[in-house]
Structure 1
Amino acid sequence: MKKTIFDNGLTLLTVEAHDVPIVTATIWYRVGSANETAGQTGISHFLEHLMFKGTPTYGKGMIDFLTASNGGYNNAGTIFDYTMYYFNFSSDRWELALQIEADRMKNCLFDPDEIEAERGVILEELKQQIDSPWGQLAMQLESTMFPAPHPNHHPVIGWQADVESISRDQLARYYQTFYAPNNAVLVIVGDINTTSVIKAVHQHFGHLRPSAFTIPAQPPAIVKQEQEQRMTLYQDSSVKRLQIGYHTVNLAHPDTYALDAIDYLFSHGKTSRLHQRFVENEQLAVFTDTFYHTRKQSGVFYFTAALRRGRTPEEFERALEEEITTLQTELISEEELQKVKNIVAAEFVFDKETTAGLAHALGEYEMLDTYEFFSHYPQRMEMLTAEAIREAARKYFVNARRTLVWGLPQDPEREEQDFDEEDASLPPMTSDMVFRTPEEQLQPPKVASNNHNHASPEFFSADSRRFRHHRWVLPNGLIVLFLEHHLLPIVSMEAFVDAGQKNEAEEQAGIAVLTGQLLEEGTATRSAFDIASAIESVGGSLDAQSQGVAVQVLSKDLGLGMDLLSDVLMRPIFDERQMKKKRHQILISIEEDDENPSTIAFNLFRDMVYGAHPYHRPRKGYKHSVRKLRREALMKYYQTYFRPNNTILSIVGDVEPARIRETVERYFAEWQAQPIPIQPSFEIPRPTGCVRKHILKEKEQVHVYLGHLGVTRTNPDFYPLFVMDHILGVGPGFTDRISRKLRDEMGLAYSVSANISGSAEKEPGMFLAYIGTSPENAPRAVEGFVREIRAIRRELVSAEELELAQNYITGSYVFNFETSTQLARYLINVERYQLGEDFIWRFPDIVDQISAEDILRVAQRYLDENNYYLASAGKAW
C-alpha cells in the first residue's frame, strides 16, 4: 500500500494484488452534497451524471463504448462528502481508465440538450425515493436532524425545485471549482506494478493544473441538538416503520471503534441483542437494524425497525430504551466482545476477495480521514474494551441527541386487515450513496469479441490447473464438486437442492420459501440460537434458502462450517414456534410487496406470462396460501425433495482435496436417498395481440413490464440470445439500444432494461422489458420498447454493435471468478446444465462465433413485438 502526491496536488493510492488479473481504478473528488448551497441542492449528483456525457476527445457515449469494448464496467456515486467514479478492467487494459479520468477532469462538455435529458432522468430517480415508504422516512429524518441551512439538511439527490432549476452556468462553475487534481484522490488496486502506475499517472495527469478557484471548505456541520425531536408520517401502507438517528462523531474520532462495536452487538446476525429481543423473544418487530454512518465532520447512529402486527410504537420504544440502558449500565460479556472481534477479523479477510471492495474502502477512508484507517482498524478493534463500549453508549445514546420518525398507516384499521398471523427482507438502513446507474445493472455477464480481445488469456488457459475441479459422487447420490483455491484462507460451500417453486402445489404456494427459511431455525442437535451463535462466533455466514444452504468460513473453521451445513440440510425439525414466526414474517413481506408498484407489476406480469405453470405465482406465495401452511406440510415437502440424490455440494477454498473428501464423507454419508417425484409438464399459452393489465396505485411513477415467455438455459440458441441481450437491453452503461434511447437520449427513466437470457433456467424464463417512469412518459416508453424489438427482428445488427457486445462479454469474463463464492456457484451451474469442465475455456470462443445473422435469426424466433403482455402498476396512464 503506497501513497504518492504529485506536484499539482493529485494524491495516488496503490495496492498490488496479483491473485486475479483485475484492476479497479477509482477517482474521488472532495465534493458532495455537503458542499452545496441553497438553491443548488443536488448539483454534485447532477454533475456526476454529466461527467459521462463526453468531452471533445470522448464524444457522447464514447466513455461507455470504450469501457464495454474493453470488457470493463464503470459507475459513479455521490454522497455527503465526496463524489467517486470507478472502472473495473482486466489488468491488461486498465490504463484506459486513466486516459478517460484525466481528460474529463478538465474537459467535460455541458451540452444544453444533454443537461435537459439528464435532468429528466434525475427527477425520475427522485420519484423512486419518494415512492418508497423507507425513502420517505429517511428524507424526513435527515432534514429534521440537520435543520436548514445545515449542509446535510437536503437529500443527496437534491430538492425537486432545485433539480428543475439548476442552470448550465451553475454546473460549469461548480465543475471548474471542485474538479481539479488538488481536490482529487486516485485509488488503483489490483494486478499492477506500482512503479509503472506512478509513471502512467504522471503521464496522464501531470500536466493538469490545480483549480484556478479557491476550493471552498465545507460549512461547519456539527449540530448541538439539545432536545429530542419527533415526527410522524402517515403513509399509504399497512406497516409501522421507525427510523431513529443519534448524533455521533466522525471517522477520525477515537470513539468510532466503540460505536462500530455497538453496531455489531445490536444488529449483526441472529444472535445480536436487538434481533434476539425484538424479533425472536418478544416478537415486537419483524425487522430491526442499526447502522453507524460516519461523515467527514460528524456521524449518525441509526436504528431502523418494522413492527409486528398488533404491536405499538410505545411498546417498541420502551423496550429499546431498556436495551440502551442495559448497554449504558452493564459491561458486555467477554464472549460478546470476542465475537465482535472475530467478526471484524473474518470480514477483514473476506473483504480482500475483490479489488473493488478494497479500492472503495481505501478511497472512502481517505475522503473522511486517512486511508491508513483500513490497516489500523483490525488492530484497534482488537484492543477495544468493554469499558470503552459502555462509555460510548453513555455519551452518545442520549435522548436529547436523537430524532425519531415514525411511519404509520394512514388508515389504522388497515393494519389488521387480511391476516392475523411475520420480513427479514425489509430494507435495512445502509447508505445515502446515489449512483449514476443502479448498481444491480452493472454486474458482469453471469455466464461465465473477437479473439484478439479476450481478457487475460493465460488466466483462462486450458493448460492451467487453476479451474480444474474434483468431482465425485457419494453412494447416496450426493454430487460433490471441489476446487482448490489458496489465494486467501477462506472456504465457501454451497449445497444446491433441485427444489423450489416448480415443486409447489397451487394451494401450497410459498411452501418452498418457508421451508428454506426454517432450515436454520433448529435441528435435532441444535437450537436456532445455537446455529446462529456457532457461525457468528467465528465471523462466518450461513444462509438457508428455498434451494439449499450456503456457508462461508475462514479455512481454519472448515470443520465447524461443514458440521453446520450438514446439520441444517439433514436434520431440521421445523419447530412449531419458529414456523409461526417465520410465516408471520413472510406475510408481512408479502404486504410490503403489495405496496411496492414495481413488485406489484412484476407479479402481475409473471401471472400473465405463465398461465397454469407454478412460476405464475409470486415466489413467496399468496397471503391466503402462506397463512394455511402447517408443519406437517413443510416436513412432507422437505422429506420429498431435500435428499442427497437431489443435491449438488460445491466447495471452493483453501484446503487440500484429501481433507475435503474425508470431511464430506464423514458428515454426509448417513444422509439417505429417496426417489424424487417427476414434475408434470405445463403448456404455457402465448398471447394474441397486446394483453394489457394495470393496477392502480397512487404513486409518483408507473412501473411497466412488457414481454412474453422466454427460453430454457439448455436451449441451443441461449448463447446468441445472450449476446443479443447485450445489444438490445442489458449492455453496460448506456451501450445497449434501449438504455441509450429511452434513458440517455429521451431521459424517460433512471432504470430501464430488457433481456431474455437472465431468467432462463431448466424451466423457461421470460423475455422482459422494464421501465419505471412518470405516467405521462409511459406511452412513449412502450412505443420505444416495441420499436427496438421490431428493429432487432427486422435488420442485421451492425458489425460495431456485435463486436462491442462480444468484446464486453469476453473481456469481462474474468470478473465472474474473483471470489470463492462466485466459483462455487459456477461449478454448480456447470453441473446443473452439463456444460462440461472445459466450458470455462470454451465460452469465449462460443461468443466469438456468433454472427449478426445468428442474432437476427434468434430475435425473429424468440421475440414478438405484436403479441406480448403489458403489466403495469402505479398512476393511471
Structure 2
Amino acid sequence: MRSRTIPERTMLVLATLCAVMTAGRADAKVYEPESITLANGMQVVAITDQRVPVVTHMVWYKVGGADEAPGETGLAHFLEHLLFKGTDKVPSGQFSRTVSRNGGDGNAFTGYDYTAYFQTIASDKLSLVMEMEADRMVNLTLDPTEVESEREVVLEERRSRIDNSPGGLLGERTSAALYLNYPYRRPLIGWAHEIKALTRENALAFYRKWYAPNNAVLVVAGDITMDELKPLAEKYYGVIPARALPDRSRPLEPEQISARRVEFAHPQVGQVSWSRRYLAPSRFYGESERVMPLTVLAEVIGGGATSRLYKSLVIDRKIALSAGASFSGSSIGPGTFSFYAVPVEGTSVEALETAFEAELAAILRDGVDSQEVARAIKSMKASAVYARDSVTAPARAVGQALAIGRTIEDI
C-alpha cells in the first residue's frame, strides 16, 4: 500500500472531465426532498414516494468518530449501542421489540462524521417510532451494569471484525499511515484498550454534548408528504429545547511529502492483495470542485469490467484476478482515491504494481476520451435511478449529505 497525494498533473485530466460533464446538468433530479426547519433548529426532510404504504424514518446526528476526544476512540459507536438501553418510558430492549412487533425493522450506524438511527415500517405506524426516537434524544438512562455488558459486546465486535480479520487489521494500519493528523486515522470502532476504559460518565457526557434537536436532521422517505410530516415532527421533536453546541473544528492534514508503504502478512491469508490510496479533495476539504470529476474518473479507471484497469490487467494482460478503483469524497475531512488489484498465481506484487503505474501514467499523459466519460456517466445515472426503487436509499443518501453540511439545493 502506498499513500500519496494526487499529483498536479492529475488536475489537468480532471479539468477536461469538468468540461465534458457540463452538458449533462439539465437532467431531472434523482430525489425531490422537501425541507423545513423547526423552531428548535431541527431540520425536517420529506421524500415522497407513495408506491407502497411504507416509510423509512431516520434521525441523523452531526457527530461521529472524528469528533471524539483523544483517548476516547470508539465513544461515538459505544453511545450508539447504549441508545438502545432505554429510557424511563421505553425500557431497555423495548424499542427494537416494539418496532418488530409492528412489522418493521431498524438499527443504527456510526460514521466518522455522523451517527444515524433508522426504522422502516408501515406508514400508519410512523408516529409510533417518532415518539420513541424523540424520547431517547433527551431521556436516555444508563444502568451501570448494562453499560459494562455493552462494552463487552463492542469489544467482541472489535475482535470479530478487526482483530480476527487480516483485512481489518491492515485497514486500521493503512488509515493510520495515510492520515498524519486528521482524526480519520483513528479506528471508528476504537482501539481495544481505549474501549475498555470508556465509562458511563464518558457516554453520558458525549450524549449531552452532541445529542440535541439543533444538531440533528430528521429524514422520512416513502409514503409521506411534508403536509403530513410537519405536524408529527412538531409534536414529537419540536417540543425538545435546543441546546448550545460545541465547536466542531478539526485539525488539518500537513503537507504530504513522502509516500508510505504498509505490508502485512498473516497466516490466515492465502491470497495476496494490493491497494494504493491517495488523499483527495472532498465536499468540504480541499478543492471541492474536483469531487464530481474525481467520481467520474474513478468509474472510468476502475468502475467495472469495462474500466481501464480491469480491461488491461485482468482481460488483456491476465496478470490480475480483479482490479478497480473508487473515490470517497462525501465527507467533512479529506477524501480518498483508491486503487486495488489481486494478482494471479505466478505474478508478483511488484510486477502488478509496475503494470498499474504504467496505466496510471498513460491516463495522466493522455487523459480520457469523451466516450469513456459518457459511458461512466450513463452507468452512474443508472445506479441513481435504481436507487429510487428503494424506500431506504433516498433517506440514506439525503440524510448523509445533510449531516455533513450539504444543502437541499446541493442534493
TM-score class, shorter: 0.7 to 0.9
Task: Kindly state the Cα deviation for residue 353 of structure 1 after the two structures are TM-superposed.
Answer: 0.2
2:73 aligned with 1:41: yes
State which of 321, 345, 368 in structure 2 corresponds to 1:286.
321
- Decide which of 94, 103, 109 is 1:77's aligned counterpart: 109
Instruction: State the alpha-carbon separation in 1 of the partners of residues 409 and 147 from structure 2.
Output: 38
Aligned to 2:139: 107
Shift of 1:244: 1.7
CA contact (8 A) 1:151 1:221 kept: no
What is the alpha-carbon distance in structure 2 between the residues aligned to residue 309 and residue 221 of structure 1?
Answer: 42
Q: Would you say 1:315 and 2:351 are equivalent positions? A: yes
Find the aligned partners of 1:223 and 1:304 in 2 and give their Cα distance. Answer: 25
CA contact (8 A) 1:146 1:223 kept: no
Conservation of the 8 A alpha-carbon contact between 2:62 and 2:404: no
Contact 1:244 1:303 in 2 (8 A): yes
Matched ranges for 1:596-675 at <5 A: none
CA–CA distance in structure 1, aligned partners of residues 335 and 74 of structure 2: 21
Contact 2:68 2:75 in 1 (8 A): yes
Q: Is the 8 A contact 1:246 1:302 kept in 2?
A: yes
Query: Alignment partner of 1:209: what SS?
Result: coil
Which residue matches 2:230? 198
Seen in structure 2, the aligned counterparts of structure 1 residues 355 and 70 have a Cα distance that, compared at 3 Å, is: same
Superposed, 1:825-844 pairs within 5 Å as none
Q: Helix, strand or coil for the counterpart of 2:84?
A: coil
Alpha-carbon separation, structure 1, partners of 2:334 and 2:79: 25
Q: Aligned to 2:86, which of 51, 54, 57? A: 54
**What does 1:224-303 correspond to in 2, within 5 Å?**
224-236=255-267, 237-252=269-284, 253-294=288-329, 295-303=331-339
The CA deviation at 1:50 is 0.5
Q: Distance in 1 between matches of 2:79 and 2:65?
A: 11
Please give the alpha-carbon distance, in whole angstroms, between the structure 2 residues aligned to 1:205 and 1:164. Answer: 34
| 1:334 corresponds to 2:370 | yes
TM-score by length of 1: 0.42
After superposition, residues 263-412 of structure 1 pair within 5 angstroms as 263-294=298-329, 295-372=331-408, 375=411
- Give the drift of 1:243: 2.6
Which residue identity lines up with residue 261 of structure 2 in the other structure? R
Q: What is the CA deviation profile of residues 592-611 of structure 1, one whole-angstrom value per residue up to 9, with x for unaligned ones?
A: xxxxxxxxxxxxxxxxxxxx
Shift of 1:352: 0.2
Q: Distance in 2 between matches of 1:302 and 1:238?
A: 23
Q: CA RMSD in A?
A: 1.5
Partner of 1:17: 49
SS at match of 2:44: strand
Superposed counterparts of 1:853-864, under 5 Å: none
Separation of aligned partners in 2, 1:360 and 1:222: 28
Per-residue deviation, 1:232: 1.2
Q: Does structure 2 conserve the Cα–Cα contact (< 8 Å) formed by 1:267 and 1:288?
A: yes
Q: Structure 2 CA distance, aligned partners of 1:246 and 1:276?
A: 22
Say whether residues 1:28 and 2:60 are aligned partners. yes
In structure 1, the partner of 2:170 is: 137
What SS does structure 2 have at the residue aligned with 1:254?
A: helix
More displaced, 28-37 or 216-225?
216-225
Instruction: Note the C-alpha offset of 1:82.
Output: 0.5
Cα distance change, pair 218–304 in 1 and its aligned pair in 2 (3 A): farther
- Give the Cα–Cα distance (whole angstroms) in 2 for the partners of residues 191 and 59 of structure 1: 29
TM-superposed deviation, 1:216: 2.9
* Residue 123, structure 1, aligned to residue 158, structure 2: no
The one-letter code matched in structure 1 to 2:82 is L
The amino acid of 1:272's aligned partner reads S
Post-superposition CA distance 1:400-435 (Å, at most 9, x none): xxxxxxxxxxxxxxxxxxxxxxxxxxxxxxxxxxxx
Of residues 182, 187, 203, the one that matches 2:214 is 182
1:334: Cα distance to partner? 2.2
Q: Which residue does the alignment assign to 1:159?
A: 191
What are the Cα deviations for residues 286-341 of structure 1, in whole angstroms up to 9, with x where unaligned?
12232211221220112222222121121111111111111112132222111012
1:363, 1:371 within 8 Å by CA — same for their partners in 2? no
Cα distance change on mapping 1:361 and 1:371 into 2, 3 Å: farther
CA shift, 1:265, in A, is 1.1
CA offset at residue 374 of structure 1?
A: 6.6
Per the alignment, in what secondary structure is the counterpart of residue 392 of structure 2?
helix
The number of residues matched between the two structures is: 373
Aligned match for 2:248, one of 217, 222, 230: 217
1:740 corresponds to:
none
CA deviation profile, 1:522-567 (whole Å, cap 9, x unmatched): xxxxxxxxxxxxxxxxxxxxxxxxxxxxxxxxxxxxxxxxxxxxxx
In structure 2, what residue type is equivalent to 1:140?
R
Structure 1 residues 118 and 373: CA distance shift in structure 2, 3 A: farther
What CA distance in whole angstroms lies between the structure 1 residues aligned with 2:326 and 2:132? 35
Kindly state the Cα deviation for residue 45 of structure 1 after the two structures are TM-superposed. 0.2
CA distance in structure 2 between the partners assigned to 1:175 and 1:112 by the alignment = 15
Any conservation in 1 of the 2:56–2:222 contact (CA below 8 Å)?
yes
Maintained 8 Å contact 2:303/2:326: no
- Who is 2:26 aligned against? none
1:93 is paired with a residue of what secondary structure?
Answer: helix
Deviation at 1:159, TM superposition (A): 0.4
Q: TM-score, normalised by structure 2?
A: 0.87
Shift of 1:223: 4.3
Give the letter aligned to residue 271 of structure 1.
T
| SS in structure 1 at match of 2:265 | strand
Structure 2 counterpart SS, 1:232: coil
The CA deviation at 1:190 is 0.8
Distance 1:39 1:231 in 2: 24
For CA contacts below 8 A with separation 6 or more, give which structure has more relative contact order: 2
Which runs of no fewer than 5 residues in structure 2 stay unpaired?
1-32
Post-superposition CA distance 1:194-234 (Å, at most 9, x none) = 1121111011111211225x423141243421111112112
Post-superposition offset of 1:117: 1.3
Q: 1:453-480 CA distances to partner (integer Å, 9 max, x unpaired)?
A: xxxxxxxxxxxxxxxxxxxxxxxxxxxx
| 3-state secondary structure, aligned to 1:247 | strand
The CA distance in 1 between the partners of 2:347 and 2:174, in whole Å, is 22
Deviation at residue 373 of structure 1 after TM alignment: 6.6
Q: Alpha carbons of 1:166 and 1:30: their partners in 2 closer, same or farther (altered >3 Å)?
A: same
Would the aligned equivalents of 1:36 and 1:43 in 2 still touch at CA under 8 Å?
yes
Larger-Rg structure: 1
Residue 101 of structure 1 aligns to a residue whose secondary structure is helix
Cα offset for 1:133?
A: 2.0
- Cα distance change on mapping 1:373 and 1:284 into 2, 3 Å: farther
CA deviations on 1:681-721 (whole Å, 9 max, x unpaired) are xxxxxxxxxxxxxxxxxxxxxxxxxxxxxxxxxxxxxxxxx
Q: Which runs of 5+ in 1 are unaligned?
A: 376-877
Q: Distance in 2 between matches of 1:371 and 1:133?
A: 39
Is the CA contact 2:54–2:121 (under 8 Å) kept in the aligned structure 1? yes
* Structure 1 match to 2:28: none
Aligned-residue sequence identity (percent) comes to 29
Give the 3 Å change call, closer, same or farther, for CA 85–221 of structure 1 in structure 2: farther
